[in-house]
C-alpha cells in the first residue's frame, strides 16, 4: 500500500483523459505546515490514487500547490482524519468496504469529527448506484461525479471550485472567530483595573488574535498643547520586558521608537513583514500605539481584524482611563494622593482577614488646633500644610506602612505595632513644618486600636480608633489612647440606650413628674419643678442620670425638651384653673436644647399654644452651662427674658462662677445644690457654702431655693440662714400631675396647718 502522503509532481501532460499509471509516487517528507492545499484521496483502488496525483500534481490552485494525503479504506480514513490538519478537499469513493461506506464516512466527518469547512467530492465507479439528489440533499457534499466523467480538465475544474469554496468558508470562519475573539478580548480587557493592567492585556489579546506569542510594547504619547512630547511605556511583553516603565527613547530601541512615532504621526496601523505597529486614537490629547514582533507576515484577514480590534480597544483605553480617574476620585484623597476612608476600610478588611492581623495597629492622627491655623493663614496655606504632614508621615515611618487621610485634619497610619508607635508618631511633630517660607509648629493627638484584639470589620476598627481618639482629647492634647474592650462595651451600651430611648419616647414610656417647692416660713407650696422620668414596660425605672446624657448626645433632647416644656405649661394652666393662681412651674433646659438655633421660636410657640402665663414659668440652667461662652449666653438670656419667663441657675456653687458674669446674666434665682444642703448637718464645714450662696443671693437681689432637703434639721438651719424656699423628700417626693393636684388641694393644706 502506498504511503499516505504524496509529494508534488511536475508533469506537463495536458491530455483531457485520465491516464492510469502503474507506478506509485515516492514517499514525501514535506511537513504538513507548508503553504499548500491539502487534498485527501479516499479510495480502495490504488490506480485512482496514482492517476489523480498524476493529473493534478503539477498544477497550482489559488496560488498554492497541492499536497495529497491517501487513505485506502473508510476505516483508515476515519483514523487519519482524527489527526490530520488543514484538509481542504476530500475526493471520496462512495463504494469501498461496503456499498455505502463513503456515505457513512461523510456522516462521520460532519457529525462526529465536526469538520464543517472541508469540501467533499463524491466519486463512484458505479453510475446510478447512489441516488445523486438524495446524497447531495442529505449530506454537505461539494460535488458528486462518476469516475468515468472525471477527465483531467473536469477533475481540475471540480477540485479548483472546491478549493475556492473551502478558502471562502475558511475566510468567513476566520473572520467570525476573529470577531468573536475581539468581543471576548473586549470583555476580558474591561475586567482589568488600571491603565497598566489594561495595556498589558491589550498586548496579550493582540497576540491571541494573531495566534502568536506576545512580544512587544504599548506606549502612550501626550500632546496637550498640539506638540507631542515623550513616549511613555505603559506595558511590555516578551523580550521587551527589559524596557523600564516610563520614558523611552531611540537610545533604548531605535527600531521600536521610530516605528511607533511613524504610527502616531500617520495615525494609522503600519504592517511590516516582521513587525506591526497599531494605532489607538485617544481623547484628551493622549494617543496610544502598540509594537509587536511578528514571526511571520500576517494575512489580509488578520489586518482587517486588527483594524476592528484597534477601534474597539481605543474606546476601551479611553474608558479605562476614565474609570481609573473615577477610581482615584473614589478611593484616594485628591489633595494628599493618600488612600481615603473608603480605600482604608478595604485595606483594613484585608489586614483583618490576613496573617498580619495579630501584629498590626491602627492609629488615627488628629492635628491639634489645625482649624485655627487654617483660619488665620488661609485655606491654601492649610492645604500645603496638610500635604507636608502627609509627606512626613509617609517618608519617616517606613514604606511598609499604610498612610491614609480620612478628611479634614485627620490622618491614619496602619501597620506593624513596632512602627505604629505613639512615641515615634508624635516625635514627627517636634520639628516645625516649613510652609511657604514660614515655620509652623504642630502637635497631634492619637487614637489607637490593636487589630489583634479587635472583633469586627475594618469600618468597626475605624470607629473604635475614633472612640480612643475622643478619649485621648478629653485627657490631654498631644497625647494618645488605646481602645479597650470596656470602651467598646460602653459605646455599645450607649447606642443600645439611645435606640431604646427613642422607642420609649414613641411608646409613651416617658412621663413628667412634679416635685413641689415650699416656702420654709409658711410651709406652703409655691411651685413645682417638672422632672422627666422613664419607666420600662416591666416596671423598672431608668435613672435620668443615665438617659439625659444619651438624649443630649443623640439630639433627641431637642424633641424631648419641647415635650416636657409643653406638658409642664399645660399642667400649670390646669392648676391655675383649679385656683392655684400664684404657682410657679420650673422646667430644666439642657445646654444642647438651649443652644439650638430655634429654641426661642419653640419657647414662644409653646407659650402661645398652651396659653401658660410666662411670668409663672421658670427655666433652670446649670451653672457650668452659664459659665460657658458667657457673652453669648448673656445675649441669649436677654432674649429669653423678653418672653416674660424667669431664669434660675441650678446646682449653684459647683461651677465656680465669676461674680461679674453672674451680675450680667440677669438671672432671677439661685438654686443651692443638694451636696451643700447635705453638708449643713453632715460635715465639719457645716453650712458655710450654703450660707455664702444665701448671702450672695441677698446681696444681688436674687431669690434662693435649696434642693435635696431631707430632714427637719436641714430645713430649720436653712430657714435660720435666711433661705426662703426649699424642695426635697422632707416635703414631698416627685409626683404625677394627678397626684400633685390632689396634694395641693389636701395634703399641702394639712402640712401648712
pLDDT by residue (tens digit) across 294-312?
A: 988 887 777 877 877 777 6
* CATH label of the domain that carries residue 470: 3.30.70.270
The CA distance from 459 to 463, in Å, is: 6
The reply to whether 103 falls in a domain is yes
Residue 100: all three cell numbers together? 455505502
* CATH label of the domain that carries residue 284: 3.30.450.40
* pLDDT attached to residue 128: 54
Q: Which of 288, 304, 331 is the last residue of a domain?
A: 331
pTM of the model: 0.48
The CA distance from 618 to 528, in Å, is: 10
What residues make up the domain containing 238? 192-331
The answer to whether residues 28 and 6 touch, using CB atoms and an 8 Å cutoff, is yes
Residue 11: all three cell numbers together? 508533469
- Nearest CA-CA partner of 397 in 376, 361, 424: 424
pLDDT by residue (tens digit) across 9-44?
A: 434 343 333 333 333 333 333 333 358 899 999 998
The reply to whether 490 falls in a domain is no
The reply to whether 236 falls in a domain is yes
Q: Are 708 and 730 contained in the same domain?
A: yes
CA angle 585, 590, 596 (to 5 degrees): 110
Q: Are 625 and 718 contained in the same domain?
A: yes
Q: Are 596 and 730 contained in the same domain?
A: yes
The CA distance from 22 to 20, in Å, is: 7
- DSSP-derived 3-state class of residue 651: strand
Q: Are 627 and 594 contained in the same domain?
A: yes
Q: Are 532 and 651 contained in the same domain?
A: yes
* CATH label of the domain that carries residue 603: 3.20.20.450
Q: Which of 267, 302, 331 is the last residue of a domain?
A: 331
Exposed e or buried b per residue across 405-419, where buried means at least 16 C-beta atoms within 10 angstroms of its C-beta: bbeebbbbbbbeeee
The CA distance from 260 to 252, in Å, is: 13
* pLDDT attached to residue 251: 78
The reply to whether 234 falls in a domain is yes
Q: Are 285 and 356 contained in the same domain?
A: no
User: DSSP characters for 360-386?
Assistant: EEEEEEEETTHHHHHHHH-HHHHHHHH
* pLDDT attached to residue 608: 96
The span from the first CA to the last CA of the chain, in angstroms, equals 142
Q: Are 265 and 374 contained in the same domain?
A: no
Residue 704, classified by CB atoms within 10 Å of its CB into exposed (0-12), middle (13-18) or buried (19+), is buried
The reply to whether 216 falls in a domain is yes
Question: Which residues of the chain carry a pLDDT beneath 50?
Answer: 2, 7-33, 131, 182, 185, 189-194, 656, 751-753
The reply to whether 181 falls in a domain is no
Rg (CA), the chain: 48
Split into its structural domains, the chain has a count of 4
* pLDDT attached to residue 737: 95
The reply to whether 307 falls in a domain is yes
Q: Are 345 and 324 contained in the same domain?
A: no
Q: Are 518 and 463 contained in the same domain?
A: no
Host H or E run for residue 598: none
Residue 100 has φ and ψ, to the nearest 5°, of -115, 25
Q: Are 32 and 133 contained in the same domain?
A: yes
Q: Are 145 and 232 contained in the same domain?
A: no
Residue 489 has φ and ψ, to the nearest 5°, of -60, -40
The reply to whether 336 falls in a domain is no
* CATH label of the domain that carries residue 45: 3.40.50.2300
* pLDDT attached to residue 34: 53
Query: What's the Cα-to-Cα distance from 723 to each of 17, 517, 588, 635, rounded to whole Å?
Result: 143, 13, 21, 29
Residue 713 has φ and ψ, to the nearest 5°, of -60, -45
* pLDDT attached to residue 515: 97
Q: Are 31 and 167 contained in the same domain?
A: yes
Q: Which of 331, 354, 377 is the last residue of a domain?
A: 331
Amino acid at each position: 500500500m502506498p504511503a499516505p502522503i504524496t509529494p508534488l509532481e511536475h508533469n506537463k501532460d495536458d491530455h483531457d483523459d485520465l491516464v492510469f499509471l502503474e507506478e506509485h509516487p515516492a514517499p514525501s517528507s514535506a511537513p504538513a505546515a507548508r503553504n499548500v492545499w491539502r487534498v485527501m484521496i479516499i479510495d480502495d483502488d490504488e490506480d485512482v490514487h496514482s492517476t489523480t496525483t498524476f493529473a493534478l500534481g503539477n498544477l497550482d490552485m489559488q496560488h498554492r500547490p497541492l499536497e495529497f494525503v491517501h487513505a485506502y479504506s473508510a476505516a483508515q480514513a476515519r483514523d487519519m482524519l482524527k489527526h490530520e490538519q488543514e484538509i481542504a478537499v476530500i475526493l471520496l469513493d462512495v463504494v469501498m468496504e461496503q456499498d455505502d461506506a463513503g456515505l457513512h464516512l461523510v456522516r462521520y466527518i460532519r457529525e462526529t469529527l465536526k469538520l464543517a469547512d472541508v469540501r467533499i467530492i463524491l466519486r463512484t465507479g458505479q453510475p446510478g448506484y447512489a441516488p445523486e439528489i438524495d446524497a447531495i440533499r442529505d449530506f454537505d457534499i461539494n460535488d458528486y461525479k462518476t469516475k468515468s466523467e472525471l477527465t483531467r480538465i473536469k477533475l481540475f475544474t471540480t477540485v479548483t471550485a472546491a478549493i475556492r469554496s473551502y478558502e471562502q468558508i475558511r475566510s468567513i470562519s476566520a473572520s467570525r472567530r476573529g470577531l468573536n475573539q475581539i468581543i471576548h478580548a473586549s470583555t476580558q480587557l474591561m475586567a482589568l483595573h488600571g491603565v497598566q493592567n489594561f495595556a498589558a492585556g491589550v498586548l496579550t489579546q493582540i497576540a491571541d488574535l494573531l495566534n502568536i506569542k506576545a512580544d512587544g510594547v504599548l506606549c502612550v504619547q501626550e500632546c496637550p498643547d498640539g506638540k507631542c512630547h515623550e513616549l511613555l511605556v505603559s506595558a511590555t511583553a516578551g523580550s521587551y520586558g527589559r524596557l523600564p516603565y516610563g520614558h523611552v527613547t531611540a537610545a533604548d530601541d531605535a527600531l521600536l521608537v521610530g516605528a511607533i512615532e511613524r504610527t502616531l504621526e500617520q495615525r494609522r496601523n503600519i504592517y511590516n513583514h516582521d513587525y506591526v505597529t497599531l494605532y489607538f486614537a485617544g481623547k484628551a490629547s493622549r494617543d496610544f500605539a502598540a509594537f509587536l514582533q511578528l514571526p511571520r507576515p500576517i494575512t489580509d484577514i488578520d489586518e482587517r481584524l486588527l483594524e476592528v480590534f484597534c477601534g474597539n480597544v481605543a474606546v476601551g483605553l479611553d474608558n479605562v482611563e476614565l474609570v481609573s480617574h473615577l477610581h482615584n476620585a473614589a478611593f484616594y484623597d485628591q489633595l494628599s494622593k493618600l488612600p481615603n476612608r473608603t480605600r482604608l476600610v478595604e485595606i483594613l478588611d484585608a489586614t483583618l482577614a490576613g496573617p498580619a492581623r495579630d501584629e498590626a495597629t491602627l492609629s488615627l492622627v488628629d492635628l491639634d488646633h489645625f482649624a485655627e491655623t487654617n483660619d488665620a493663614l488661609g485655606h491654601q496655606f492649610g492645604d500645603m500644610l496638610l500635604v507636608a504632614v502627609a509627606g512626613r508621615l509617609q517618608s519617616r515611618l517606613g514604606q511598609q506602612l499604610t498612610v491614609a487621610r480620612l478628611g479634614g485634619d485627620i490622618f491614619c497610619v496602619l501597620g506593624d505595632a513596632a512602627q505604629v508607635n505613639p512615641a515615634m508618631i508624635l516625635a514627627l511633630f517636634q520639628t516645625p513644618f516649613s510652609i511657604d517660607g514660614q515655620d509652623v509648629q504642630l502637635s497631634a493627638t492619637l487614637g489607637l486600636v490593636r487589630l489583634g484584639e479587635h472583633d469586627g470589620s475594618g469600618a468597626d476598627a475605624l470607629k473604635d480608633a475614633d472612640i480612643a481618639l475622643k478619649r485621648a482629647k478629653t485627657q490631654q492634647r498631644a497625647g494618645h489612647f488605646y481602645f479597650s474592650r470596656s470602651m467598646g462595651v460602653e459605646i455599645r451600651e450607649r447606642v443600645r440606650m439611645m435606640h431604646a430611648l427613642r422607642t420609649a419616647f414613641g411608646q409613651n414610656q416617658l412621663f413628667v413628674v412634679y416635685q413641689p417647692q415650699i416656702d420654709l416660713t409658711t410651709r406652703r407650696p409655691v411651685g413645682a419643678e417638672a422632672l422627666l422620668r422613664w419607666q420600662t414596660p416591666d416596671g423598672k425605672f431608668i435613672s435620668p442620670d443615665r438617659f439625659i446624657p444619651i438624649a443630649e448626645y443623640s439630639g433627641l433632647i431637642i424633641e424631648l425638651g419641647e415635650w416636657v416644656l409643653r406638658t409642664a405649661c399645660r399642667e400649670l394652666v390646669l392648676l391655675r384653673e383649679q385656683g392655684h393662681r400664684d404657682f410657679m412651674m420650673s422646667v430644666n433646659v439642657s445646654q444642647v436644647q438651649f443652644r439650638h438655633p430655634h429654641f426661642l421660636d419653640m419657647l414662644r410657640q409653646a407659650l402661645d399654644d398652651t396659653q401658660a402665663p410666662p411670668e409663672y414659668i421658670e427655666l433652670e440652667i446649670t451653672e457650668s452651662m452659664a459659665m460657658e461662652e458667657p457673652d453669648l449666653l448673656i445675649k441669649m438670656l436677654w432674649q429669653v427674658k423678653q418672653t416674660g419667663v424667669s431664669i434660675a441657675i441650678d446646682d449653684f456653687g459647683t461651677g465656680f462662677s465669676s461674680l461679674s458674669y453672674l451680675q450680667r446674666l440677669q438671672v432671677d434665682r439661685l438654686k443651692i445644690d443638694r451636696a451643700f444642703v447635705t453638708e449643713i448637718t453632715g460635715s465639719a464645714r457645716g453650712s458655710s457654702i450654703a450660707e455664702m450662696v444665701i448671702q450672695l443671693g441677698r446681696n444681688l437681689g436674687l431669690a434662693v431655693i435649696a434642693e435635696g432637703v431631707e430632714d427637719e434639721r436641714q430645713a430649720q438651719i436653712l430657714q435660720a440662714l435666711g433661705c426662703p424656699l426649699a424642695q426635697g423628700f422632707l416635703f414631698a417626693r416627685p409626683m404625677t400631675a394627678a397626684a400633685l393636684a390632689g396634694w395641693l388641694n389636701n395634703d399641702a393644706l394639712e402640712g401648712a396647718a
